[in-house]
Amino acid sequence: MTKSELNTGYEPKDIEEKWYSKWLESGQFTAKVDPAKEPFSIVIPPPNVTGSLHMGHALNNTIQDILIRKARMEGKAALWLPGTDHAGIATQNVVEKELAKEGLTKEALGRSLFTLRVWKWKEESGNTIIGQLKKMGCSCDWSRERFTMDEGYSAAVKEVFVKLYDDGLIYRGNRIINWCPRCLTALSDIEVEHEDLEGHLWHIRYPLQSSADHIIVATTRPETMLGDVAVAVNPADPRYKDFIGKNLILPLMDRVIPIIADSSVDMDFGTGAVKVTPAHDMNDFEIGGRHGLEMINIFSEAAKVNESGGKYVGLNRYEARKAVLSDLEEAGLVAKAVSHLHGVGHCYRCHTVIEPYLSDQWFVKMKPLAEPAIEAVKDGRIRFSPKRWEKVYFDWMENIKDWCISRQLWWGHQIPAWYCECGGVTVTTSNPTQCSSCGGSNLIQDEDVLDTWFSSALWPFATMGWPKETEDLKFFYPTSVLSTARDIIYLWVARMIMMGLKFMNDIPYHTVIVHPTVMTIDGKRMSKSLGTGVDPLDLIEKYGSDATRFGLIIQSQAQDMRFSEEKLEMSRNFVNKIWNASRLILMNLKGHEVGSIPELDRADLWILSKFKKLLRESNDDFANNNLSQTAKRIYDFFWGEFCDWYLEISKSRLYAKDDDEKARAGRVSVEYIYLTVMNGFLRLLHPFMPFVTEEIWSRFGFSDESIIFSPWPLGEGLLEDDSLEADFERIKDIVVAIRSIRASFSLAPSKEIEVKIECADSSKIEFLASASTYISALTGAKEIEIKDKLKAPKKAAAAALGPFQIYVLLEGLIDVDVERERLEKRLASIEADLSLVLGKLMNDNFTSKAPKDVVEKERAKKAELTLEKEKIALQLSQLGDLRF
């Protein structure tokens, strides 16, 4: 390796592309069923085919890639199964927009042509996100890539539908559902996003049929009164006791409607009297059911008033509201209007205000599915990380409602149900020729498709070949970890658990990692439409994939992370640091054969101890899914310990003339440490930064193989030595103190200094002496004298550190005022610390109640501070005698 072969600045681009194609060519990511190995599997949360990589994906897929790469290195059979989701509404909307540009509509094309067109779009544009994942370095098994509408997957969806139907868990019913008047489809409850909007609560007079009296109802949606069939009051409400059972004349419609009693009515809200519109309100639908009321649908699918709305026919919801209010106003029936904040549901895809709508839809009965799913988390078979999300899961699951799964779309899994003239419904996986009720052959398939989330609920097993009993299923199911964003815990995570338990009779995964949500730096949601999003691809372009991954992971610690690009810059600098440290080593390796462990000095043992600690603590972090902390440890170790201290210390041995036995031995030790640390460190870092580690790994020639399958480092044979580490911290402190003196007196780097150190603790002298070469290398001291007793030299700057009294001889260079200020500042700080310590030690409660080791520590601190104080005071007093 020559210097010219490594640039001084790391250029990620070519290196990243080179390695990713190599990895793909050699099939490194392809998982093999191998009973001799422990399986470790992750199914990717399938991104929408319409999607492009956003920051959430970048973070989530980095997490998964780290886990899967680590597992691979641990010798597990690691499968990361990728794929995409057909995303019914989203994709249909995209293609419809494309058609609109050509002046076409899906109706003009017809269903089958439209569907073909969507497939064509999917083939051409639906895989951008897969390419983006590759840029990130994701080690997915692309040979197993799936799509929620591929042939096998579609068969699985049908199978599930039919089985649930046969088990009585799927039924069809005429019910109130959430209707999007723009997408023209039903939505499930959790696809509706509620937003508090400032509206009005209108108080409207409904006259009694038999007298001049009236009842005032309060409503936020006066236009729905066109569909009113009753007014309900609480049976316990004294104000309305005499009204119950009487009739009202519905204004504008002149319909006679009854006053009924229903305990669901809140006496304290509004006027305590509720207009009942069963076709357009969830709650009213239930009241209507209890009282056998008629349901009058007054809206078309596009939420315009229909024929049942009398003269208002053809108006949309908001026009109708205006018209109704103005007519009521004119009739003097509006008692008052007060402003009122209330939650309004919006479509999660197009943000149109949802209309509660009465229609025929398919539903899944959820309670029987939810019960075992609750149990699986309760008994710990599935764990959420962080654990608090389990409560969120329970809250939803314990109050679960039936799931509306039919969608009035063309893109998706068409419901495998056929209707016959006889009224019979045939539900089957294969296209039926005969009605299951009457045997008739004139069958028409239900036109609706299934909720996209119905198919994605099967993801962990349908992707592995279910309903066939495949080798993959037997080996890789249940999967190990699911990593996901918190906003799809209900939509996806919970439903996978239910479906997995129902159809595989087993949980889909053992651990659910809920990663932080990526926010903008000012705490706003990242959104393309708001222009607040950051494109991960731009970041990769700017900082490289390794730095982007590392920078994301290291800041992913809070529940909401405010994305800070600075952390990526820091990571990019870190990559560069690693690159250059490698450069230093590679340029200087002489290839000494290291047969056995060479003789090591204390600096060597110290960095090995630090390294061992890093490995141990990192493994603990992994066990707690705290990847962010590992990233931080990696950074601190490599930059703060290995580069800043060990590499600098080792240079004296590295650059020593290789002309005697001692110098050669020194080199052998240093090279041994370099190789030992770099070899293990690169492996530890590899899951986080796959590209640069692979590149450096190959430059070192640590193995002929890719680093991908090198063993996960555990630091076997390395020892942690806390006392050595503590001693070493002292050495560092001494170095810093000397450097600080250098800086105070603005000594040029080339200026050699003379240092004397008095060490009052005889047990530390030997160590200090052995470290004196480090100290001189790091401080530019040409000579260091170490004694247990020393006469304080004149014309010197001083520092006191515990048992150590340090003098930097500065003949002719010392500025008395500067030195006095320096010492006084130090003295003040020592005195402040000392008074705190003394305060504690003089407190009998402390000395008697605090643990012994804590008290002991305080006493030691007191002794040390006292000594430092004396030394500094002495030095200060001598300062006056200095004559320069």
Window 639-678: residues binding RNA (CB under 7 A): 639, 643-644, 647-648, 651
Rounded least distance, CB 572 to RNA, Å: 5
Report the site for RNA in 471-490 (rule: CB under 7 A).
486-487, 490
- Could you tell me which residues come within 8 angstroms of residue 157 by beta carbon, excluding any fewer than 6 positions away? 148, 413, 450, 454, 455, 458, 462
DSSP state of 799: E
Report the site for RNA in 405-444 (rule: CB under 7 A).
none
Give the tokens for residue 580: 């250059």
Q: Determine, following the binding rule CB under 7 A, whether residue 545 of this chain makes contact with RNA.
A: no
Q: How far apart are CA 419 and CA 427, in angstroms?
A: 9
Q: Determine, following the binding rule CB under 7 A, whether residue 530 of this chain makes contact with RNA.
A: no
Q: Determine, following the binding rule CB under 7 A, whether residue 532 of this chain makes contact with RNA.
A: no
Report the site for RNA in 748-777 (rule: CB under 7 A).
749
Rounded least distance, CB 194 to RNA, Å: 6
Compute how many residues bind RNA; rule: CB under 7 A.
98
Reference 453, options 828, 814, 163, 88; nearest CA is 88
Q: Which of 292, 380, 523, 812 binds RNA (CB under 7 A)?
A: 523
Rounded least distance, CB 564 to RNA, Å: 4
Rounded least distance, CB 560 to RNA, Å: 5
Closer to RNA by CB, 668 or 692: give it: 692
Which range binds RNA by CB under 7 A, 239-247, 527-535, 710-718, 846-854?
846-854
Q: Determine, following the binding rule CB under 7 A, whether residue 854 of this chain makes contact with RNA.
A: yes
Report the site for RNA in 160-219 (rule: CB under 7 A).
189-190, 193-194, 196, 201, 217-219
Reference 86, options 130, 47, 135; nearest CA is 47
Report the site for RNA in 121-160 (rule: CB under 7 A).
none
Q: Determine, following the binding rule CB under 7 A, whether residue 622 of this chain makes contact with RNA.
A: no
Rounded least distance, CB 384 to RNA, Å: 12
Q: How far apart are CA 412 and CA 85, in angstroms?
A: 10
Contacts made by residues 693-698, CB under 8 angstroms, sequence distance 24+: 694/19, 695/15, 695/19, 696/578, 696/579, 696/582
Q: Which of 744, 770, 773, 866 binds RNA (CB under 7 A)?
A: 744
Give the tokens for residue 413: 């899994």
Rounded least distance, CB 129 to RNA, Å: 23
Q: Which of 247, 532, 557, 619 binds RNA (CB under 7 A)?
A: 557
Neighbouring CB atoms inside 10 A of 431's CB total 10
Closer to RNA by CB, 66 or 94: give it: 66
Q: Determine, following the binding rule CB under 7 A, whether residue 5 of this chain makes contact with RNA.
A: no
Q: For strand 753-759 and strand 781-787, is the pairing parallel, antiparallel, or unpaired?
A: parallel
Report the site for RNA in 803-832 (rule: CB under 7 A).
825
Q: For RNA, what does the binding mask look like between residues 89 and 118, x meaning CB under 7 A?
A: ------------------------------
Give the tokens for residue 244: 């119950």
Q: Which of 236, 558, 594, 828 binds RNA (CB under 7 A)?
A: 558
Residue identified by tokens 């070519």 is: 14
Rounded least distance, CB 118 to RNA, Å: 29
What are the φ and ψ backbone dihedral angles of 228, each rounded to 5 degrees?
Answer: -70, 140
Half-sphere exposure of 170 (CA within 13 A, CB side): 22
Rounded least distance, CB 337 to RNA, Å: 13
Closer to RNA by CB, 470 or 740: give it: 740
Q: Which of 851, 877, 880, 881 binds RNA (CB under 7 A)?
A: 851
Q: How far apart are CA 45 and CA 138, in angstroms?
A: 13
Report the site for RNA in 7-66 (rule: CB under 7 A).
8-11
Rounded least distance, CB 184 to RNA, Å: 23
CA-atom Rg of the chain in angstroms: 37
Instruction: Tell me if residue 303 falls in helix, strand or coil.
Output: coil
Give the tokens for residue 843: 């407190």
Rounded least distance, CB 871 to RNA, Å: 15
Q: Which of 561, 677, 771, 800 binds RNA (CB under 7 A)?
A: 561
Closer to RNA by CB, 43 or 654: give it: 654
What are the φ and ψ backbone dihedral angles of 736, each rounded to 5 degrees?
Answer: -65, -40
Q: How far is CA 197 from CA 194, 200, 342, 488, in A?
A: 9, 10, 6, 24
Helices (H), 271-401: 282-291, 317-330, 367-378, 389-398
Residue identified by tokens 């010197």 is: 796
Q: Which of 36, 212, 623, 743 binds RNA (CB under 7 A)?
A: 743
Q: How far apart are CA 598 and CA 653, in angstroms?
A: 14
Q: How far apart are CA 435 and CA 378, in angstroms?
A: 44
Q: Which of 5, 538, 566, 658 binds RNA (CB under 7 A)?
A: 566
Give the tokens for residue 577: 């640091």
